[in-house]
Structure 1
């Protein structure tokens, strides 16, 4: 009904405003629809794509960057022509929406909208063209402008352009535009695709194609001060983006970023890899450029800067070098990161205008300062280290580094088993750096004893094992006598990357912040004095009331998460964090209790079928369309899931069908193993599912399928609780 209403409204607007187009709109229609190239006017599709839902006949994007010293002009456009070949495509393309400063329509990213002009034309199979004059008409719903495109039919060609006439004021003479990273493939095949970036002097452009995509070429422009760079691709097959996949690692892709730097002083402060000359495209970053860029940005902090950490380590009597760095990370996690949370909340919620810490034992950390601070500490403790420059695997290889914002900085402390620190987070663990960096090729910046960077080498980061990243769950289940409900107690332990994730899931932030205040004997900002005044007491009460509200939301979200995990509505859910283990590599331990009513049990005459497989949580179900795969598989890290389950057998029943719970599927890619026994009136079964690697080649997918399928099949298994004969 709503779509039909909008369609009628838009059609009505078209009828009454068809002659009210501005000269600018008419000019743009002329530009995109009349003066285009033959490729932009084609209506024919290749024979091989006759059975596709839709075919993108033409897709062109343009991004321009010019300035007059006071304003930076950034016109941009997208022009797309699509052949609709079935009802699914008609439905998909019948509604068009966009938000300010976000993606518009079918992929255009707008930087800072000043004025948007949209043109929509429907070309019927008999050649009739219907132009919708709706550039100024839209329906605003939930901050989204929505346009319905009326009258679409199978066989139509939909021709759309969006033109953005944008600008920014050049107050400082420097501006970094957000980087753009795109794969060329879409869910529909593309006959012709083009992306153009035009830059004027004072703009620096990083731009390159990757993974075998067509090379970028320079085209002549009408102005001497501008350069235009273009990527053109044809005959792009459709791609169904599968699970566990990083598109930028394998598919044809393009990345670019533009920086405006008016003066030499602006260039010096740039946080990007600049080309030697403005308006000249930069397509790669060499080891020498890494040394040049980072050599002047990293410097060790002084003893004065790190004195509070040194005092803490001395007070605790910690002398082992590795332990010193581990405990130092925990210390600054509190001092310079987590305890700022309540200050931010107090300020944002108007509880305190200028909340201040009670001490000055902290540093303001950004990505460079973290490296400088920790290297300064290592220098004072006489610990050898190197600086690591890495990129997440989902951004592609370090060999293809181009966008500076894709870089992750860190330190490697050169113990027999190296220790890597990359960043701070609420529950950072010294032994586990971000999982998306595991096994990646990196730049290692060698640091000499004088703490100066003297060379850049390639290195590879280590990987964790499936044993290190483990979730171990003990389920103890008691069925009611009538089988209508069950009581479940679940004790879980998490290690490795699972531990970090589970800490974020289970711990409420005020609990771990208060834990840290007690652990480090520091004070809340409202309790700096031994005697609190009335104002401080009011602040404390308001903070605690705010926390109580957030706690309710946290507990609601946690229950819903477990509901979703087990695919059931839980009653009387409660949980207890037994051991946070936030200051060691011990497992996080959590205990949960809840009741499940009317789920997982079906009556079969006098007997009951119990879905025992449901208690190993949701398992991956591989669809038929996923069986054949030509792309790699990326699961971030090796991992193990272990479940040990006991079900007390109600008196008067025996269990039938136990043999279905014994499975053993294993190969070098992973495994699923399960076993079941009955002992002392209790059904006991164990399962263990192992992902042996963090990533797999496409040809290994066939080897993964058997144990993935075995795990899913187990999750669907039932056993019969059979009524004994009287």
Structure 2
């Protein structure tokens, strides 16, 4: 009886599951489907790789008591017009089960995928997804066989995510362009919500507006965005789609009552029945007026300052920054590592007092505000957004806002990032040269006003990479021995520090600077200390070996060759000065690659010893979009190549190049001094933004840099 009952239970579940899948299928493919018979595309799109005949997105937010259900789906009907499109749609990957991480419950969500193929003769082939799918890396994969040019693929993806919540909760925002890589003949996006769901939604750059659809129930709301003949989008390198292309952004926030609305991390509308389209300066002021306030015990800072003198207020504040970074962050890193790896059960107990650990910029800003208030130092709270999100006046999603602290000393100081490597006046590079809002703090007590300001920008003199290589060629072993030293400044430095350093590369530096006792030295029991030390040393060695292997692979990717005898050494962490470089050395050998024997002579691909350069492909030469690079920057390479005894160099003239214009430059010079070939090359990007009219000027110096990497010299036997 037990087995019969189990069989009956599984049978009933199977029937119910099949019924649900059939209901979902009928939402998309039914007798009323007005797009189900469309197979032709306009003549003007005959040369496109594919054309999206119909795209339909649906978002549904509903609740019953503490239960909330978020349902989303997308359906596409696509005409495949060349082999590239056939290849792209020949495989689907998906998860049919997942657990919701929303709210306070741990409930299972479901995903349903439906696929059918319409052949040119009208024959429809529905894919049995359950039968055809195979498990792969915690997901499922469906291969579509016999897909051909001229076929139409019609598929839907339906997700149901249930969870429980009695608190405020923000769903993941959606920010996307209206168009895709293929033209869309008909596009429809629908929203359905009810009471307690707040919607922020707006269209930009010419995208259609969201329209409200009347419903029969006053507590239910429905909206739709429709568009037809949507042009395909190109997404070239160095481009910000949401800044220039028709797009839309939205976020839905769930809040059951007024107190939860007040706590919400969102710019909410006054009424849940109203769509929030814009966020005003006043909205920003209201939101942040209570979010940031002075908070923290200043005893540690006061003790640090005792007996010290400084040449300026700026120097004093920067030194407090570095001390705070150590006192509330780096001094606890070892404890965190030992606790996470189970070497010690609760290492924080070794400290004299309960540790205060800052793990966010917000905590640090509040603490520093307390110091500024106590010492009557004027400051502003800056609210900004990355330029990839568009201008600050169009900010809609609170998650896109970044907060900085501006200290109004004679030379203003900005605090915007708080990491083990961060420095004063360092903030997210996407904020440079953007408009932002300054919340004016009156008499260091409360925010009383808000005004629009411009954030500073760096230059290519600030953001510099200097790379020096000493190269020796072993003729008998056909090997290049390379000693490489890299010095990074400004944003170039901050981009590399977290990749090239681990905590053990700088923690001793901090201990020595501030006289802090390393964690294991706090352990009094000699036997336990020896045990912890042995396990910790083994952990460090394992981490260092892994780091070395990772850095070796990075060097191999950079030069696209195999390297041997690799070593890495940090010379300067660059963590205590804005003009101080992050400096490291790499030594390695390259065998056979970059070398070609030609009788008694050798051809050396000397240009490839410079770091890889941007290669502009033929299809990129024609461009319609403006150019957005990361920030102004410069790269300087110096190669000192020892000429083997008994050989001379020819082909030097190809290594001399000069291209300069207002967008940037590339200059390389080569000479032979004391049996050494000296090659120096410098590439500069003048700005982070260039209008599309300047694209050919950028290509000029980019191509010159790439061409140098293709140049060779001949080592001629004397």
Matched, 1:346 2:331: no
Aligned residue number for residue 22 of structure 2 = 26
Deviation per CA, 1:216-268: give whole Å up to 9, x if none.
11122343211122222222222232112222222222111111111112112
Matched, 1:53 2:49: yes
In structure 2, distance between residues paired with 1:718 and 1:364: 52
Count residues with an aligned counterpart: 696
Bigger mean CA offset, 686-695 vs 495-504: 495-504
- Over 3 Å counting, the alpha-carbon distance change for 1:29 and 1:101 in structure 2 is closer
In structure 1, distance between residues paired with 2:253 and 2:16: 39
Aligned residue number for residue 139 of structure 2 = 144
Aligned residue number for residue 125 of structure 1 = 120
Secondary structure at 1:675 match in 2: strand
Query: Once the 2 structures are TM-superposed, how far is the Cα of residue 367 of structure 1 from its aligned partner?
Result: 4.2
Matched, 1:425 2:423: no
Deviation per CA, 1:421-471: give whole Å up to 9, x if none.
112112102132221111111111111114211111111111111011001
In structure 1, distance between residues paired with 2:649 and 2:342: 61
Secondary structure at 1:498 match in 2: helix
Bigger mean CA offset, 113-122 vs 696-705: 113-122
Query: Once the 2 structures are TM-superposed, how far is the Cα of residue 715 of structure 1 from its aligned partner?
Result: 0.9
Match of 2:271 among 257, 269, 277: 277
Please tell me whether the aligned partners of residues 321 and 383 of structure 1 are also in contact (alpha carbons under 8 angstroms).
Answer: no
Aligned residue number for residue 15 of structure 1 = none
Secondary structure at 1:595 match in 2: strand
Matched, 1:583 2:576: yes
In structure 1, distance between residues paired with 2:249 and 2:131: 32
Matched, 1:696 2:690: yes
Aligned residue number for residue 411 of structure 1 = 405
Please tell me whether the aligned partners of residues 39 and 192 of structure 1 are also in contact (alpha carbons under 8 angstroms).
Answer: no
Deviation per CA, 1:248-301: give whole Å up to 9, x if none.
222222111111111112112111111101132111100001111111111123
Query: Once the 2 structures are TM-superposed, how far is the Cα of residue 665 of structure 1 from its aligned partner?
Result: 0.3
Bigger mean CA offset, 684-693 vs 423-432: 423-432
Bigger mean CA offset, 196-205 vs 582-591: 582-591
Query: Once the 2 structures are TM-superposed, how far is the Cα of residue 24 of structure 1 from its aligned partner?
Result: 2.9
In structure 2, distance between residues paired with 1:37 and 1:161: 13
Please tell me whether the aligned partners of residues 113 and 167 of structure 1 are also in contact (alpha carbons under 8 angstroms).
Answer: yes
| Superposed counterparts of 1:330-479, under 5 Å | 330-356=322-348, 358-360=351-353, 362-479=356-473
Bigger mean CA offset, 30-39 vs 571-580: 30-39
In structure 2, distance between residues paired with 1:505 and 1:28: 46
Match of 1:539 among 532, 540, 550: 532
Query: Once the 2 structures are TM-superposed, how far is the Cα of residue 19 of structure 1 from its aligned partner?
Result: 11
In structure 2, distance between residues paired with 1:151 and 1:599: 43
Deviation per CA, 1:638-694: give whole Å up to 9, x if none.
111001111121222221111111111000000000111111221112110000111
Query: Once the 2 structures are TM-superposed, how far is the Cα of residue 21 of structure 1 from its aligned partner?
Result: 8.3
Any unmatched runs of 5+ in structure 1? 1-17, 104-110
Please tell me whether the aligned partners of residues 610 and 721 of structure 1 are also in contact (alpha carbons under 8 angstroms).
Answer: yes
In structure 1, distance between residues paired with 2:54 and 2:376: 61
Secondary structure at 1:700 match in 2: helix
Aligned residue number for residue 14 of structure 1 = none
Bigger mean CA offset, 54-63 vs 18-27: 18-27
In structure 1, distance between residues paired with 2:673 and 2:88: 57
Any unmatched runs of 5+ in structure 2? 1-13, 100-105
- Over 3 Å counting, the alpha-carbon distance change for 1:679 and 1:49 in structure 2 is same
Aligned residue number for residue 497 of structure 2 = 503
Bigger mean CA offset, 468-477 vs 370-379: 370-379
In structure 2, distance between residues paired with 1:465 and 1:452: 34
Secondary structure at 1:88 match in 2: helix
Aligned residue number for residue 324 of structure 1 = 316
Secondary structure at 2:517 match in 1: coil
- Over 3 Å counting, the alpha-carbon distance change for 1:396 and 1:136 in structure 2 is farther
Aligned residue number for residue 573 of structure 1 = 566
Query: Once the 2 structures are TM-superposed, how far is the Cα of residue 368 of structure 1 from its aligned partner?
Result: 3.1
Secondary structure at 2:506 match in 1: helix
In structure 2, distance between residues paired with 1:134 and 1:433: 48
TM-score by length of 2: 0.92
Secondary structure at 1:205 match in 2: strand
Aligned residue number for residue 90 of structure 1 = 86
In structure 1, distance between residues paired with 2:511 and 2:550: 26
Deviation per CA, 1:488-526: give whole Å up to 9, x if none.
211221110111223223323212123222222223444
Deviation per CA, 1:582-629: give whole Å up to 9, x if none.
112311222222222112121222222111111211011100000011
Aligned residue number for residue 219 of structure 1 = 213
Aligned residue number for residue 63 of structure 1 = 59
Query: Once the 2 structures are TM-superposed, how far is the Cα of residue 342 of structure 1 from its aligned partner?
Result: 2.8
Match of 1:311 among 298, 303, 307: 303
Please tell me whether the aligned partners of residues 378 and 385 of structure 1 are also in contact (alpha carbons under 8 angstroms).
Answer: yes
Aligned residue number for residue 682 of structure 1 = 676
TM-score by length of 1: 0.91
